[in-house]
Amino acid sequence: MQTRPVLLGEHLPRALPRLAPLQPVPRRLAKTAEEIATAMDAAQMAAEIEIPRAPRLTADDVTPAQASTLLYENGGRLAILSAEGTFFEQIMGRYSNGKPDLELILKGHAGDRLVVDRRGLEEFVERPSLTLGICIQPQLLQDIAAKKQMTGRGLWPACCYRSRPTASALGT
């Protein structure tokens, strides 16, 4: 293993928030065992500091599996906001041979515990909160309503939706 001289003060700037108040240390080679130990302790503390990732609280074109991961990574909170109905097409089974994947929506609406264990992925969210703000075309609403699993498992009660009157209903 290749080593290099320990430079006193080298790791201190990153470790300062976790260290007791220190006097400015000139940048020079550590000479005594005490100086080396101080530098090594500071380096260890700096290595242990976890920098949190930036939160990602919204998504758009996302699969249910990735939405579950985003929910997990962001403390159980996620909003899927989109000008298109792509997310509904995906939960209706776009990538699963037509089999709906409603687990995330139903648990995210009710705040029921979400546990994902698949392909080495372990995610646990005690009280998930999922918000959907999605604009969809009338045809997609009809497609959703025509699919028994989409309505029979409680998707509609979990959603609040509004449609505008069609041009024919307005007499134009």
Averaged confidence pLDDT in the chain: 79
Percent residues over pLDDT 70 in the chain: 77
Task: Please report whether residue 166 resides in a domain.
Answer: no
Amino acid at 101: D
Are 106 and 69 contained in the same domain?
A: yes
Give the strand pairing for 77-82 and 129-134.
Answer: parallel
Are 137 and 84 contained in the same domain?
A: yes
Task: Please report whether residue 125 resides in a domain.
Answer: yes
User: In which residue are the tokens 């392909």 written?
Assistant: 119
User: Which residues constitute the domain of residue 33?
Assistant: 7-48
135-170 pLDDT, tens digit per residue, is: 888 888 888 888 887 777 777 766 777 777 766 655
Closest-CA residue to 79 (of 137, 135, 129): 129
Amino acid at 8: L
The pTM (predicted TM-score) of the whole model is: 0.63
Largest distance between two CA atoms of the chain: 91
Q: Is the pLDDT of residue 103 over 70?
A: yes
Are 41 and 66 contained in the same domain?
A: no
**Distance between CA atoms of 16 and 24, rounded to whole angstroms?**
11
Between 70 and 148, name the one with better pLDDT: 70
φ and ψ at 130, to 5 degrees? -115, 130
Are 114 and 84 contained in the same domain?
A: yes
Are 11 and 88 contained in the same domain?
A: no
Q: Output Rg (C-alpha) for the chain, integer angstroms.
A: 26
6-59 pLDDT, tens digit per residue, is: 444 555 555 555 555 555 656 667 678 888 888 888 888 988 888 878 888 899
Are 67 and 146 contained in the same domain?
A: yes
